[in-house]
Chain A
Amino acid sequence: MKRRSFIRISSYTAGAWLLSEVIPLNAFAMDSSDTNCFQPNPQIRVCEDGRVILYIIKQEMGQGVITSLPLILAEELDVDPEKIVIEGLPYDAANAGKYNTYASASIKGAYSSFRKAGATARTMLINAAAAEWNVNAEVLKTENSKVVNTLNGQSINYNQLIKRASALPVPENPVLKNPKDFKLIGKSQRRSNIAGIVTGKALYGFDLVLPDMVYAAVVRAPLFYGKVKKWDDSALKQLGPGILQIVEVTQMAGGVDNRNGVAVVATNSWLALRGQQLLKVEWDLGTKGLFDSTEISQQLKQALKTDTAALTYDKKGKSTAFTPLEGANVFRTIYEMPYQAHAAMEPMNCTASYKDGKYEIWGGFQAPGEIAKILPKAFGVATDAVFVNLLPIGGAFGRKEKVDNAAEAMQISKAIGKPVKMIFSRADDTGNDFYRPASYHQISVTADKTGITDWAHQLAVTAFPGKNISHVHHGIGGAVADLIYPVKNYQSAFYPIESPIPIGSWRAIGFSHNVFVAECLIDELAAKFKVDPVEYRLSILRQESDKYVKDRKRLENVLIKCAEAINWNHKPLAKRFRGIACCAYPHAQGYAAHAFEISVAPNNAIKIHKVVCAVDCGLIVDPEGFKSQIEGSLVWSLSATLKDEISLQKGQVQQQSFFDYDVMRLKEMPKFEIVIIPSDEAPGGAGEPAVPSVSPALCNAIFAATGKRVRKLPLKKEGYTMG
């Protein structure tokens, strides 16, 4: 039996994760209103003043975490979700990794733990009431922050039970609600920070203001390995005394990977950005990585021919060699995909304040764990000498796992001895990203209309730093997991080439290219053997396999439901054609299928008549929030499929802003239907599983319409337009 002490806390927000409604300066203030609270579990406190405080450590970046997580607690605890106050766990450098938000894992990870936390508190409150009234706990129930005696209707508010409950033993295995009885989970809820957003009060890193703060923008080396030779700031004189200082920023290794540069420090953002434009910096660009995109593409192709694979896999995992498939019956095919940027609407930024050997920083970070791991080392200080205040993120998509922005702001603040907000211009953001890698795939298969015998996938990919393939580009979503279809013999091999520009996680990571390749190839095989593409997939998915593939049934099911929703078994109207593809996203326990109905004019203008997505992500906590993610996934993926590419000239990124890295617009969005598969399985992540199957479904529809295979994305570069 564990003892829980009676805890007196003062609600304290120093360093806490700030809700959008909270003015950031409150970060410094202590709330002195003391109150008695009972804390049956580290994640929650139930207080005498009626508040239920929920401590969460995940970052909000648009995916609705702060709505979904309180709902789970409110459900088990039987309180009004509006009464739940969310506080971020104070940043704790030793446990910073727990704040990381990626891999669509927030809800998945929190679901059982918050349910248990709620059930624990509810059980203890019931036991407290039972003691208070001297009745058997079995006759008591809870509703709306009260314990109710079902025999006589007598009731007592939770907040009157705090003291008594605190003294009780903590149940080891509290009984959870039956999902059948859920009142909140699975019912749509409003996002709890919507009021802040629609009134403009929500504060993002870009909006932060600290007393005495100055502003900075950095002119960065146009090449990742570039160095500053000298600079000339004479043109900045015209901007007047608002330009305060010019500070050199140096590149840091060890996972920071910022660029060398020169910062313009000014009294406001605009002067800093103007100064950045006027500052003339002379660079030593070096001799490394001065490639054009066409050369990168050549290198990728060449690597497959001449290099030995850096890493090979077979069905069992890592293998020792890759054996090319030879013979007349081998079907070989290639696909190529470009670098992609994240282009979140809030450009990168960070505010830092250096004082007495310590750094305090403010910003939106997906991975505070990386801050604790990387920055103190890079700056040669103790782990607790870097303190981070996490702010809501204006779109992350993987980019905000990085800490280059923090390192820049910290260097500048140290140099000038003042708090500084360092902002990226849009061009800085587009040109200094950690990109989705460019990749070139060659797949060789032997197959017939009953199934696939051999599958050999060779993947050449731009790696960083050096030829290091970070874990996000293989393993999960890479060569092992890319193929959910049972095959007799499986092989894959990696051929990394050195990328001139940094790479990083991008929404749906390796799945974004591997699923494209696998799903287009299955479609090619179905066409070759004149089998219906849905039937072909299903018949293979249903085959016995010695390769461990989890939950193939769930994938089958989304495929079937998707086909039904697009009316697959009935012919479309004249000149309309359909394509389908599916994706298993095992580590977020998500399964999705997309189908497109399109027509293609003789001039290659594509008109999308309808898109359907069938998706199974287990139990859904917040259906509207969930659907938002599926809608967002379509918009995201269509941008990449149709329009976007990051290209290089002499190693320099060519794109600057939304005029040359264009994204989908409202009027371009096709009719879209989402079919949610009802499920009692533990909730999976919603942000990524419905990204990968969009591109292959569209490209398969293009094949159905034109007989031409799309081998390379984006479609715009291949001569297709949106009709």
Chain B
Amino acid sequence: MNIVTKNAPHLRRPNATVVRMMRDVSIALTPLIVFAIYQHGVDALLILLAAVLSMVATEYVYYQIKDFMERKREAKSETEEKIRELNWQKKEKKKALKEKTQKAREDYEAFMKDYEQRMASLRETLKEENRAAKKSDNKSFRLANRSFTIYNFTIITSGLIYGLTLPDTIPLSKVIVGGVVGALLAKLVFGGMGQNIFNPAAFARVFVVLSFGAALSYEAFVDADAGATAMSVLNEQMFNAGVVDNYDYWMLFSGIGLPGSLGETSALLILVGGIYLAARRSFDIVVPITYIGTVFLLSLTVMFTQDLGFWFPAVHVLGGGLLFGAVFMATDPITSPVTRPGRIYFAFGLGVLTFLIRLFGNLPEGVVFAILIMNMFVPALDYAKWAKSRFTVRSVLVFSIVVVLAIVITNVGVYYVA
């Protein structure tokens, strides 16, 4: 038995692990996956598999290459350099011999006297080193593998979320390209887990929309005959109640028979997942509440000023990817601020952006764009000089003013557009 010393605290919370947190998200997604497969059949399964596998494979390949290059760099040892140097000296001395001076001959002889011996000993060290390197190679290989986040479910979760935001008609090749780009550009180039600024799933999704825009324009996004998503209908004829007559509230809520992306349609199952995550405290519930609350509030005020029915806020909250994005994407801890007030501002910003993009942008899906945009503001929200763990009187005042401003600007904007 050995007595060791460590710095306090000497205990750690037993159930606080990254794998628990990320696994919980995957578990919360499971009902949605089942529902997606039930609704869309094998297509959904294939899309999800492609989304997850493309991300996992990208990460795997990336770390293998990185590991390989690292080992290469380490392999160029000092001893090798010395051997090269010694050989070079020998060559130089030999060259000098050709001039047939006394000095050169003496020099050469002096050099050659222990040349063999030195060379032999260097070779011996090199062999030793290589042997040792082989051993540590195994270790460094394991180290590289540890950064591979399949072990803590992070990459699987990203892949699943990405897959669930896709429509069921998307070709698999596009899913894969999006997955590779999302994992690589949004996560790996930033330095892997914990370092990324953008949510990889949102990034991949936006990439797919932007680069295959033609193929995925919203007419084609879902089959025109099967009906567009509730959101895209709404976007085209924004304030015309007739268009949503096709969908009753139960349909909007349960998602059964509703067209749209694989995982975004069933508000009910998303709420189930959200409640599970909240009960396990694997995310901070204020984020989805603020996000959804903001969109609801804004659409409610628009409802009053434009004299629309209650279908308007209901469709905004239940339709489209809002609930899914709020519960599963906006809560990604890595790409959100680290203080409670910061997270509330973040979620509020998401709500406003989502609503504005939906109304004034040409895209019915504001959620993923809003997430990427707000991701860029995270460092500002976390800036050491003003980020505080608690609300202060001043921050509440400023925040209230911003809320009022957002409401006013939205309504004025709507007034001019409508």
Whether chain B is bound by chain A comes out as no
